[in-house]
């Protein structure tokens, strides 16, 4: 249900909000899943002063007594319910009949899953299934041959450039082809270019890993090839834009015609690449990192073909390793799981099979998942929460002192046009064209990849599908899509500690309410705010508003730049800026929405905690996570999200209500004078 609202609350919205009025339906309501009312009181470490380290005050006992399972890189709220969802999906898949009719969804899902699980059959097949791809790589003799290989959807090769079909950010009603930088085997350019001992050590381990994997495939000069590949990827890394710069949406929208694409680097065989992809008839392209793409094209033309053959051979083995013999799978895990991310052991094969089914046939499984695990009442209450957050955002925008009326008008139009998607899509994806063959794990994975490419290719030239989802219902996540101006919440995240229809209101608003506010906040962060109500990328702010906004977000970025994660490693405040704005806006707006839901009544005291205290504790418990140091380094270097500790401590110190709720005073470590607190939305 979507209301077009201004600053006030409509009568229909008020009726919806009654669903969240204190005590509504309480007489016969079932208990919260986290007894007695939704918050884990045992998680706290009350010996810690809230104003010194709120994250440890809220989660310290849990952090001190939990351990990361050996098959995990991190362990916290997200990982716990993700594992729960994996078990739920496995139960669904394994209940499907083994003799399901050929071509049915049950046959496709069941046979895909069973083939992936059959590691003995994969072992017996050896490299046979991969041989056609490896032979095609070995046969390349020219730059055009390489371009055709890199464009083939059945190979899905990692290459210095990546071509994707996506939404046109300046015309949300059409799809367009984008060309972007790619090609690195390690997480980010820093892993190749930084002189720190830790990165130098990782480069050596990467080189040794490449040599071992190529030796498994029978390469006689594996050590020399490994050195060549590392040098080649270092050259690629030097050309890459830093990850923070890649966030700048106006810098990464460079429209070029087919002819202009070919003029970027004369002699580059674009026709061969696009012909292999089926994109040779496209007339317009968006080149994202313009000078980097030009440099990478030149690199591909000037380095000997045999070096690129080794590079492509290695990456083909890596990306198919989970359906290759155990030695390939184990070697790939050893570097990418253990070395880069600290994961001590490979996940059970069934978990990886569930994840692979999700990538290949995710909505087919999702339809069964929501039937079993997502009650309609959860969707209704989520819609009520969304509309309350929307109304609160509208009030706050209306009261902003730093924004001019002209910009406020457009901002409110954008807010009113936000489209919420809750739980699952209205129309499920059609998998009838996907052929799944019993016992052919390698072929099934390849055919699923080609099916998805062809699905997207067929709709080029058609109007965009605004009902499409970018995540499956069983995904533990949420997102904002600026080009469709939509906020999306899959069914699986709508469970404790994020959401429980029977939990205390303060807990739900501090949990899923903060997440809703976060995703809505992306529409007004430093990048999402560059699109209007229709999702069109353009400047709609008055110049003075842009300057006022920049001053505030610059201060927030500077705060996060000062947070040390590991010795010598600080958060990148520019890389994480959008997510930090989302957290700050989400927590601030959801707090006011919670008070709106009280309808003027005082919040009850529960176990000695006020409503405000329960609200902030709920936010903190959502983010409680133990993370391996290796994974932290990967995250801080390449991921736009701040580590969990700072998604709590870095945010609450800018929220005035938190100070009052926990009596935070000058001298407390998180205390900021009021004039230093950042308030944006």
Q: pLDDT digit string (tens) for 215-261?
A: 999 999 999 999 999 999 999 999 999 999 999 999 999 999 999 99
Q: What is the pLDDT confidence band of residue 375, given thresholds at 50, 70 and 90?
A: confident
Question: Would you say residue 173 lies in a domain?
Answer: yes
Average pLDDT over residues 35-41: 95
Question: Would you say residue 558 lies in a domain?
Answer: yes
| Whether residues 56 and 181 fall in one domain | no
Beta strand 486-490 with 479-481 is antiparallel
| Whether residues 517 and 644 fall in one domain | yes
Write the burial class of residue 572 (CB in 10 Å: 0-12 exposed, 13-18 middle, 19+ buried).
Answer: buried
**Does the pLDDT value for residue 16 go beyond 90?**
no
| Whether residues 182 and 314 fall in one domain | yes
pLDDT at 527: 94
Which candidate, 154, 164, 117, places its Cα nearest to that of 449?
154
Question: Would you say residue 166 lies in a domain?
Answer: yes
CATH code at position 526: 3.40.390.10
| Whether residues 255 and 389 fall in one domain | no
Q: What predicted TM-score, i.e. pTM, was given to this entire model?
A: 0.92
Question: Would you say residue 441 lies in a domain?
Answer: no
| Whether residues 44 and 137 fall in one domain | no
Q: Give the C-alpha separation, 14 to 23, whole Å.
A: 16
In the listed set 284, 319, 354, which residue is the last one of a domain according to the structure?
Answer: 319
Residue span of the structural domain in which 525 resides: 38-67+374-427+467-676
The long-range contacts involving 301-304, CB below 8 angstroms and separated by at least 24 positions, are 301/143, 301/265, 301/267, 301/268, 303/232, 303/235
CB proximity list for 672: less than 8 A, separation 6 or greater: 653, 654
Question: Would you say residue 326 lies in a domain?
Answer: no
**Does the pLDDT value for residue 138 go beyond 90?**
yes
161-168, strands of its sheet edge to edge: 161-168, 171-181, 284-287, 254-257
Beta pairing partners, 164:
178
Question: Would you say residue 616 lies in a domain?
Answer: yes
| Whether residues 288 and 382 fall in one domain | no
Question: Would you say residue 242 lies in a domain?
Answer: yes
Domain count, the chain: 2
Q: pLDDT digit string (tens) for 421-436?
A: 999 999 999 999 999 9
The percentage of the chain sitting over the pLDDT mark of 90, rounded to a whole number, equals: 94
| Whether residues 310 and 383 fall in one domain | no
- Rounded to the nearest integer, the mean pLDDT of the chain is 94
- The DSSP call for residue 286 is E
| Whether residues 205 and 137 fall in one domain | yes
Write the burial class of residue 48 (CB in 10 Å: 0-12 exposed, 13-18 middle, 19+ buried).
Answer: middle
In the listed set 319, 339, 363, which residue is the last one of a domain according to the structure?
Answer: 319
In the listed set 273, 295, 319, which residue is the last one of a domain according to the structure?
Answer: 319
| Whether residues 614 and 491 fall in one domain | yes
| Whether residues 45 and 160 fall in one domain | no
CATH code at position 199: 1.10.1380.10
| Whether residues 263 and 175 fall in one domain | yes
Q: Which of 151-155, 156-160, 379-383, 630-634 has the lowest mean pLDDT?
A: 379-383
| Whether residues 50 and 171 fall in one domain | no
Question: Would you say residue 457 lies in a domain?
Answer: no
Q: pLDDT digit string (tens) for 194-203?
A: 999 999 999 9
């Amino acid at each position: 249900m979507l209301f077009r609202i201004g600053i006030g609350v409509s009568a229909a919205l008020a009726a919806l909000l009654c669903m969240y009025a204190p005590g509504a339906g309480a007489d016969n309501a079932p208990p919260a899943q986290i007894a007695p009312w939704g918050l884990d009181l045992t998680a706290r470490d009350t010996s810690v002063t809230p104003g010194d380290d709120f994250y440890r005050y809220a989660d310290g006992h849990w952090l001190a007594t939990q351990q990361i399972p050996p098959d995990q890189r991190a362990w916290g709220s997200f990982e716990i319910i993700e594992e729960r969802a994996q078990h739920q999906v496995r139960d669904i898949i394994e209940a499907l009949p083994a003799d399901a009719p050929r071509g049915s969804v049950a046959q496709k899902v069941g046979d895909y899953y069973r083939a992936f699980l059959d590691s003995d059959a994969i072992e017996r097949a050896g490299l046979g299934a991969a041989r056609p791809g490896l032979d095609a790589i070995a046969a390349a003799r020219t730059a055009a041959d390489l371009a055709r290989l890199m464009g083939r959807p059945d190979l899905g090769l990692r290459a210095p450039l990546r071509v994707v079909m996506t939404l046109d950010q300046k015309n949300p009603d059409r799809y367009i082809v984008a060309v972007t930088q790619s090609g690195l085997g390690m997480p980010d350019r820093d892993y190749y270019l930084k002189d720190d001992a830790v990165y130098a050590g990782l480069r050596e381990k990467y080189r040794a890993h490449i040599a071992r994997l190529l030796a498994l495939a029978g390469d006689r000069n594996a050590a020399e090839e490994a050195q060549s590949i590392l040098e080649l990827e270092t050259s690629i890394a030097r050309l890459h834009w830093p990850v923070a710069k890649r966030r700048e949406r106006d810098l990464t929208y460079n429209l070029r015609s087919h002819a202009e694409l070919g003029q970027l680097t004369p002699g580059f065989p674009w026709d061969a690449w696009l012909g292999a992809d089926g994109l040779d008839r496209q007339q317009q392209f968006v080149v994202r990192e313009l000078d980097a793409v030009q440099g990478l094209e030149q690199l591909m033309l000037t380095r000997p073909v045999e070096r690129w053959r080794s590079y492509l051979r290695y990456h083909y083995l890596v990306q198919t390793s989970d359906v290759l013999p155990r030695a390939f799978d184990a070697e790939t895990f050893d570097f990418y799981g253990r070395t880069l991310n600290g994961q001590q052991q490979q996940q059970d094969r069934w978990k990886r099979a569930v994840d692979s089914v999700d990538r290949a046939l995710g909505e087919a499984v999702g339809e069964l998942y929501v039937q079993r695990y997502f009650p309609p009442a959860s969707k209704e209450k989520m819609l009520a929460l969304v509309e309350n957050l929307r109304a609160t955002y509208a009030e706050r925008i209306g009261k902003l002192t730093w924004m001019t009326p002209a910009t406020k008008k457009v901002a409110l139009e954008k807010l009113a046009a936000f489209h919420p998607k809750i739980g699952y899509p209205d129309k499920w994806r059609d998998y009838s064209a996907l052929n799944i063959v019993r016992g052919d794990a390698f072929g099934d994975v390849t055919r699923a990849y080609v099916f998805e490419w062809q699905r997207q290719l067929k709709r080029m030239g058609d109007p965009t599908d605004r009902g499409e989802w970018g995540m499956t219902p069983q995904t533990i996540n949420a997102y904002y899509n600026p080009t469709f101006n939509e906020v999306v919440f899959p069914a699986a995240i709508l469970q404790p500690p994020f959401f429980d229809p029977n939990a205390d209101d303060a807990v739900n608003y501090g949990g899923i309410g903060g997440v809703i506010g976060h995703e809505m906040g992306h529409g007004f962060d430093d990048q999402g705010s560059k699109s209007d109500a229709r999702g069109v990328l353009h400047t709609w702010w008055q110049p003075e508003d842009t300057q006022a906004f920049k001053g505030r977000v610059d201060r927030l970025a500077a705060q996060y730049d000062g947070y040390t994660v590991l010795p010598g490693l600080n958060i990148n405040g520019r890389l994480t800026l959008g997510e930090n704005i989302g957290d700050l806006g989400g927590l601030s707006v959801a707090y006011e929405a919670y008070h709106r839901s009280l309808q003027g009544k005082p919040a009850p005291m529960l176990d000695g905690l006020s409503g405000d205290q329960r609200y902030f504790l709920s936010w903190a418990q959502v983010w409680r996570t133990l993370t391996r140091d290796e994974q932290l380094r990967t995250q801080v270097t390449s991921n736009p999200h701040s580590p969990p500790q700072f998604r709590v401590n870095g945010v609450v110190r800018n929220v005035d209500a938190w100070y009052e709720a926990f009596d935070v005073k000058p001298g407390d470590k998180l205390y900021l004078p009021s004039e230093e607190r950042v308030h944006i939305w």
